[in-house]
Amino acid sequence: MDNAPLILLAAGGTGGHLFPAEALGVELIKRGLRVRLATDARALRYSGLFSKDNIDVVPSETVRGRNPISLARTAVMLGHGLVVAVNLVRRLKPAAVVGFGGYPTVPPLLAARLLGVPGIIHDANAVLGRANRFLSGRVNAIATSLPGVLDRDPALSGKTTTVGTPMRPAILAAAAVPFATLEPNGPLRLLVVGGSQGARVMSDIVPGAIEKLEPALWNRLILTQQVREEDMARVRAVYGRLKINVELAPFFTDLPAKLAASHLVISRSGAGTVAELAAIGRPSILVPLPGAIDQDQFANAGVLSQAGGALRIPQAEFTQDRLAAEISAFAAEPAKLTAMAAAARGVGRLDAAERLADLVVKVAGI
């Protein structure tokens, strides 16, 4: 195994980038290859395939605005990261470098370009992310989760392959769990998440919406909600007053199992979340992150909503009254949740890791 070709995976330090990298890594190891991960320090909090022994931290910085001082700081950090990445690629001699988005992928893939190592990027969004857009002309191949992402760009479409979003083993296991039909007057399992960093809007809106439900629904709810530490006390106080059956935490290590157990998921619409909802087949209310330059979360949510598997609500319309009304409507019409689960599952792809691994092996020439 020590002599097997090495594939260096590069990803931003959030679950949306790390989880597809992990899924590809599992598949590549099955094929007898070695893998390492280049990322930022945030990745060290995640468990799974990658441990501290096979993670290389590469300095990077996100472009946060057009302020000259901010841009200069970003340039300096990315320049430092490039020096570190060049030394890393020279030392490891990978057969290919595969990036999954986020600015921490920029130094390793630029290093690969400079040293003549094949480079591949994967983008899970319906709109190519900024880091991947920057890298797109500097890599040998582009993999997308969704069709048509680069159809209007002839210079890139020729080297683009649609593979889906690679799913880690825990998601594949959850996808094998059938959707449990909501029984009239039976328990309603509601999961509220806000992405890897949490989302304050969920703490602002969801507890008040739950309070507006008919009291009979309070007794039926089994609520699991991701809550940031700074919001925990006020959220817990509301649910405690209502005597809701609730589990609150800043981060769930068993999120795939919680997704599988849910009747309804309320979430942001990051690419990874949308792909996992589709793979597992669970109904959702999706609230895209507002203000994004490329509106990627709005487009991601549109994929599921157009298929009938999700309800997309812009954050400006995501009020306590609106959410309470939607939850009440779903509780009164369980068949709609079942239909939405099937529609979401129809969008899901479970073989994406194999498809992407085929592309990596081909581009790497191994």
**pLDDT > 70? residue 64:** no
Six token digits for residue 107: 């130094």
Please write down the HEC assignment for all residues of 163-216: CCCCCCHHHHHHHCCCCCCCCCCCCEEEEECCCCCCCHHHHHHHHHHHHCCCHH
Position 259 scores a pLDDT of 97
293-310: average pLDDT: 89
Six token digits for residue 59: 């300095």
Instruction: Give the residue from 75, 81, 119, 78 showing the smallest Cα distance to 100.
Output: 119
Is the same domain home to 248 and 144? Answer: no
Q: How many CB atoms lie within 10 A of CB 240?
A: 10
Predicted confidence band at 337 (pLDDT cuts at 50, 70, 90)? very high
Q: Pairing relation of β-strands 141-144 and 221-226?
A: unpaired
Predicted confidence band at 1 (pLDDT cuts at 50, 70, 90)? low
Instruction: For residue range 119-139, list pLDDT tens digits in order.
Output: 999 999 888 888 899 999 999
CA distance 164 to 146: 6
Is the same domain home to 91 and 217? Answer: no
Predicted confidence band at 326 (pLDDT cuts at 50, 70, 90)? very high
Is the same domain home to 225 and 124? Answer: no
Position 314 scores a pLDDT of 96
Beta strands in 59-118 (DSSP E): 96-99
> Is the distance from CB of 208 to CB of 202 less than 8 angstroms?
no
Position 43 scores a pLDDT of 62
* CA-to-CA separations, 109 to 137, 150, 283, 331, in angstroms, rounded: 11, 20, 37, 48
CA distance 135 to 127: 14
Is the same domain home to 219 and 158? Answer: no
Instruction: Give the residue from 168, 365, 177, 351 showing the smallest Cα distance to 272.
Output: 168
Q: Which residue has the higher pLDDT, 295 or 336?
A: 336
Instruction: For residue range 95-117, list pLDDT tens digits in order.
Output: 999 999 888 899 999 999 999 99
Is the same domain home to 336 and 289? Answer: yes
Six token digits for residue 73: 């700081």
Contacts of 39 (CB under 8 A, 6+ apart): 10, 11, 12, 13, 17, 18, 55, 56, 57, 58, 104
**pLDDT > 90? residue 151:** no
Chain-wide mean pLDDT for the chain? Answer: 91
Is the same domain home to 202 and 138? Answer: no
Position 161 scores a pLDDT of 95
**pLDDT > 70? residue 257:** yes
Q: Pairing relation of β-strands 160-162 and 34-39?
A: unpaired
Position 74 scores a pLDDT of 63
Is the same domain home to 190 and 339? Answer: yes
In a domain, 1, yes or no: no
Instruction: For residue range 9-47, list pLDDT tens digits in order.
Output: 999 877 778 889 999 999 999 999 999 999 887 766 665
pTM: 0.82
Is the same domain home to 121 and 265? Answer: no
Q: What share of the chain has pLDDT > 90, as a percent?
A: 69
Instruction: Give the residue from 259, 271, 23 showing the smallest Cα distance to 146.
Output: 271
Is the same domain home to 98 and 153? Answer: yes
Predicted confidence band at 63 (pLDDT cuts at 50, 70, 90)? low
Residues of the domain holding 218: 172-347
Give the CATH number, domain containing residue 328. 3.40.50.2000
